[in-house]
Amino acid sequence: MSNNILELFKLDGKTAIVTGANRGLGQSIALALAGAGADVAAVSLHSPDDTVAQIRALGRRAVAISADLGDRAAIPAVFAEIKKHFPAPGILVNNAGIIRRADFLDFTAKDWDDVLGVNLDAAFFLSQLFVKDVLSRAAKGKIIHIASMLSFQGGIRVPSYTASKSALAGLTRLMANELAAKGINTNAIAPGYMATDNTAALRADAARSQAILERIPAGRWGDPSDLNGAAVFLASAASDYMNGHILAVDGGWLAR
């Protein structure tokens, strides 16, 4: 291991898969990993061409893959396409996620299934393919799930989102238990209230936004870039002894 601590955070020679990489948290994380030296397979429902262009401007290789990760049957083809461009992916960031809001009694089966399909099922099945591939090459790997404050709390009017993010926290721990000894680190980042499309409705509600801000010790909504340091850390050799941890990047929300 290098005596230069900064060397541990470098991702030179690594390939990262980032889902939901066309905007918001996923785009920011993809650019951060590229900035640390990684090549990136950017996967999203809507074309991540802008993300890929910015990564290439950093001097790294990148490929855009458009796919509906809510369609479980499509996931093997997505992974196969990634492998055509990058034969040895070593980092997987399961960021793709959607949210639906309605009162518990009014919540529909479709809104339940759609959210669980993208937020949980896709992370599980893509992780399976990734791990099998890493182990087949006798390599090491890093998996980062994007969890949530609702991995710890109940929230209101988002039953399928809360269920998916709570399950993702449990899955992070299970995968760590089974995979750590095989050289694959599984951890999660739990963002606080971030200024993204998923929180647009909350930020547009003046009273709700103010109530949220009053609870955040940092006194502001998070920016996607606030996750960059945590993502690079968990993707790098600097976190080699971290397994099954859910790292909150929340401006102090959980401290209240």
Catalytic center residues: 161
Helix ranges (DSSP H) in 147-227? 159-179, 200-204, 206-215
Nearest CA among 15, 47, 42 for reference residue 28: 42
C-alpha 89: how far from its chain's center?
16
Q: What does the DSSP 8-state code read for residue 252?
A: T
Q: How many helices (H) and strands (E) does the chain have?
A: 9, 7
Residues in the chain: 256
Rounded to whole angstroms, how far apart are CA atoms 86 and 61? 9
C-alpha dihedral, 18 to 78 to 115 to 207, nearest 10°:
30
**Please, are residues 88 and 137 in contact by the beta-carbon 8 Å criterion?**
yes
Handedness of CA 78, 100, 166, 242 (dihedral sign): positive
Cα–Cα distance list, 140 to 7, 66, 86, 88, 183 (Å): 18, 27, 15, 10, 5
Question: Is the CB of residue 191 less than 8 Å from the CB of residue 25?
Answer: yes
